[in-house]
Amino acid sequence: MQWGNIKTVFILCFLVLDVFLLWQFMEKQKQADISVLEEQNSSIESQLEAENITIGDIEIETTEEPYISVHPKNFTEEEVGLLGAKEGVQAEMVSDNLIAGRFEEPIPLPANVEKEDIEEMVRPYVFNPGEYTFWEWDEELNALIFFQKKNDRPIYYNQSALLIVYLNDQDEMTFYTQTMLGEAEIQENNQTMIQPRRAVEILYNRGALYPEDEVSDMSIGYLTRVPLEDGVQVFAPTYNITVTNESGERKFLVNALEGIQSTVNDEFYQEFIQNSLVNINTLNEDNEMKEPLLNLLNGKLQEENRSETE
């Protein structure tokens, strides 16, 4: 009887000892992981410092974001009719997903025009202007590029969420083409985002940062993660990282949930124009917008191709 009790005590002692040793092992492993992480962070910091790569005052308040899914928007004749009733613009529904507009009189852009001024100048002539934000003035196309917004954040480089305003040789607005996405739905629960500094590290490890660079700005938008059936697209929260140096400004996109740097097709705008041309060609021959718009877009493509070969 006593021997049985002694064996039980021994077994319990060994169990307690095993639990203690396991806990100790896990603590040491945790400390080792922390040390490795701190060493990696220290290594990256020292490498950035050695190459004089600096990070500006960047504030990203959110730490969690969900994926979203969005259906393409199908324009209606009624919507385009209301748009065409606006003063100073002629609008046409080229296809279910594409609107083309023509300014009745070319509208000149002021010298040194600011982003807010451009958005305000375009606002009276396009469909749902509040859903778009000015992205850039593409010099090769000589066109103003606007991205659609969801949750007050831009959707980067998406063929179905784009407004392009075309300029003539005098930098006057003459035509525009517009696509749009519908309502956004949350695809999954909130996911933890990588830290902004980690996104910078990803760029550095990919060789995207050079000596004397400054990471001057960082914001959050959406980039297509995967297309689903029926044209539905899933978008991932994405860091838009601006890097500046004495040569100018560069922009990079890093998936804020998966930590993957995304590359944008250099011919993105060309592909949009080519797709627009296919649709515009389906308009009736007597449509007074068809020929001048085709001539304009074909001319833009020729200018783009010419600049690439020079």
Tell whether 152 and 253 lie within a shared domain. no
Tell whether 171 and 63 lie within a shared domain. no
Using one digit for the tens of pLDDT, what is the confidence trace for 92-101?
999 999 999 9
Using one digit for the tens of pLDDT, what is the confidence trace for 35-60?
444 444 557 888 888 899 999 888 88
Tell whether 168 and 211 lie within a shared domain. no
User: Is residue 18 included in any domain, yes or no?
Assistant: no
CATH number of residue 120's parent domain = 3.30.310.160
Assigned token pair, 67: 């994926």
The pLDDT value given to residue 56: 87
The pLDDT value given to residue 302: 85
Assigned token pair, 231: 């044209």
**Residue 144: burial class (beta carbons within 10 Å; 0-12, 13-18, 19+):** buried
Q: For 262-268, what is the mean pLDDT? A: 85
* Domain span including residue 247: 53-68+185-259
Report the phi/psi class of residue 171: left, alpha or beta, with left for phi > 0 and alpha for psi in -120 to 50: left
Closest C-alpha among 111, 113, 155, 102 to residue 133? 155
**Residue 68: burial class (beta carbons within 10 Å; 0-12, 13-18, 19+):** buried
Would you say how long the chain is, in residues? 310
Q: Residue 202 pLDDT > 90, yes or no? A: yes
* Whole-prediction pTM: 0.83
The pLDDT value given to residue 103: 96
User: H-type helices in 151-242, by residue range?
Assistant: 196-205
The pLDDT value given to residue 226: 75
Tell whether 166 and 304 lie within a shared domain. yes
Using CA atoms, how far apart are residues 241 and 252, in angstroms rounded to an integer? Answer: 5
Tell whether 64 and 196 lie within a shared domain. yes
Q: What percent of the chain has pLDDT above 70?
A: 83
Q: What distances in angstroms separate CA 61 from CA 13, 146, 156, one per listed residue?
A: 50, 25, 20
Using CA atoms, how far apart are residues 123 and 308, in angstroms rounded to an integer? Answer: 32
For all residues of the chain together, what is the average pLDDT?
Answer: 86
Query: Number of folded domains in the chain?
Result: 2
The pLDDT value given to residue 34: 45
Using one digit for the tens of pLDDT, what is the confidence trace for 56-114?
888 888 789 999 999 899 999 999 998 888 899 999 999 999 999 999 999 999 988 99
Decide: 67 and 188 in contact? Cβ < 8 Å: yes
Q: Which is more confident, 7 or 252?
A: 252
Tell whether 270 and 242 lie within a shared domain. no
